[in-house]
Amino acid sequence: MSMLKAIWDRLGDSVSSLGSSFRSALPLWASSSGASYILDYNSRATALGLDGPPTLSLAGLSFTFTQGRWVLSGPGQPSKSRLRRLAHRKRALQEENNQLKLRVEALMDQLAAATAQLEALRQEGRAGKRPPPKLVTVVSQ
């Protein structure tokens, strides 16, 4: 704790050694731009040329940032039929993804069963017994 106090005291000494030029820098800057610029958001936005919400153009589409989200705006808005087609395509892709997940799970179960049978055969072979190999049936969809 005393080390922090020593650093703080040293910083205080270096700031005070700068004299009045350091202390007057902020008020000069604030007075040149006007005190309302620092305090008033609307004045600051107007001075920076931000008359409305921020907009962005990408691939011929215009987006506006409103209420914490980027929203599609302007003449490039997609039609309702295109939105319906996209929603239908999204649903179809989600269903296909779910089916593929089920297939992967079934294949993993088959792989685990085949690996267990192979390991059992290896253990029996090490013990000196050689039973006839069991047939493994693989069902694919």
pLDDT band at 24 (very low <50, low <70, confident <90, very high): very low
Whether the Cβ atoms of residue 61 and residue 70 lie closer than 8 Å to each other: no
Domain ranges within the chain, ordered by starting residue: 78-141
134 or 131: which carries more pLDDT confidence?
134
Q: What is the per-residue pLDDT for 97? A: 97
* Three-point CA angle 77, 83, 85, nearest 5°: 140
pTM: 0.38
Q: What is the per-residue pLDDT for 125? A: 81
Q: How far apart are CA 133 and CA 128, in angstroms?
A: 14
DSSP characters over 29-76: HHHHH-HHHHH-HHHHHHHTT--SS-EEEETTEEEEEETTEEEEESTT
pLDDT digits (tens, 9 = 90+) for 57-106: 887 778 888 888 888 877 666 677 878 998 999 999 999 999 999 999 99
Q: What is the per-residue pLDDT for 70? A: 84
113 or 11: which carries more pLDDT confidence?
113
Q: What token pair was written down for 50?
A: 């931000």
Q: What is the per-residue pLDDT for 132? A: 60
The whole-number average pLDDT for the span 15-23 is: 50
pLDDT band at 5 (very low <50, low <70, confident <90, very high): confident
76 or 125: which carries more pLDDT confidence?
125
Q: What is the per-residue pLDDT for 38? A: 60
Whether the Cβ atoms of residue 64 and residue 53 lie closer than 8 Å to each other: yes
